[in-house]
Amino acid sequence: MEYSKEHEAPFSSPSLPSKKWWSKDTVAIVTGANKGIGFAMVKRLAQLGLTVILTARDIEKGHKAIEELRNQGLDDVHFFRLDVSEPASINTFVSWFARIFGALNILVNNAAVSFNKINENSVEHAETVIKTNFYGAKLLTEALLPMFRLSHSKSRILNISSRLGSLNKLKNPNIKNILQSENLSETHIEAMVSLFLQNVKNGTWERQGWPELWTDYAVSKLALNAYTRVLAKRYMGRGISLNCFCPGFTQTSMTRGKGTHTADDAAETGARLALLPPEELPSGRFYLSGTSTVNSKL
């Protein structure tokens, strides 16, 4: 997946549709949402009139986030604990969701971790980063796919990603060729991730052409972008749209509060992308903050 621009453009976003296709009965799930972009996404979608499920690993922080939203007059928000790095937690959450709500319109895979400061590049926690950022989103998506509501409005999956996971950050030609192949499969993606973790274990990762900035995080997003492309192709014309969104350098705990814009700014764009009119909704695309148009195909 190559991006047409590598610079940080001024932050902007598509406008909201003039005619709402959604209602209170439209159900959205946002993962990793007790703070930062996830919390801001829940807030914005709820403000726009959707029913939103906020998930977080920490029960106390999740309830506190819901309380804050309800104090703002947002009553159609709900919380359930979810740790996407734990398959058992995913199963428990999906069972609860199926029992209480039954059908889903929008999934925002936002939950992610990074253990590096801005100028660091340790891979000490690479396995946890991959398990959360890639496998967590993958396993949750697979578990929820049967519950997506198929209608003229299309169901939507928006994966919060990063330009760090761009193919042009990858210097290994063999892996790049595999990821660019029209025959790319989940097996290829998982093999790439396994190779990276093996390189980490044997200490050779710095010499294998992996992305040089926040390497473990970048590889996790490289895998997520590739997986989105595979699913988008598989579900093309079947009522489900899958896209990636890079919110840019956003002021969150992951960036230690540094950034060019706030989480609310990023969520405003994310929400508008998630709510594009059905007739304008693409699939298999990568959106980069700062433009109102699609930057590239996945």
Report, as residue numbers or ranges, the catalytic residues.
217
Task: Write the secondary structure of the chain as one string of H (helix), E (strand) and C (coil).
Answer: CCCCCCCCCCCCCCCCCCCCCCCCCCEEEECCCCCHHHHHHHHHHHHCCCEEEEEECCHHHHHHHHHHHHHCCCCCEEEEECCCCCHHHHHHHHHHHHHHCCCECEEEECCCCCCCCCCCCCCCCHHHHHHHHHHHHHHHHHHHHHHECCCCCCEEEEEECCHHHCHHHCCCHHHHHHHHCCCCCHHHHHHHHHHHHHHHHCCCHHHCCCCCCCHHHHHHHHHHHHHHHHHHHHCCCCCEEEEEEECCCEECCCCCCCCCEEHHHHHHHHHHHHCCCHHHCCCCEEEECCCCCCCEEC
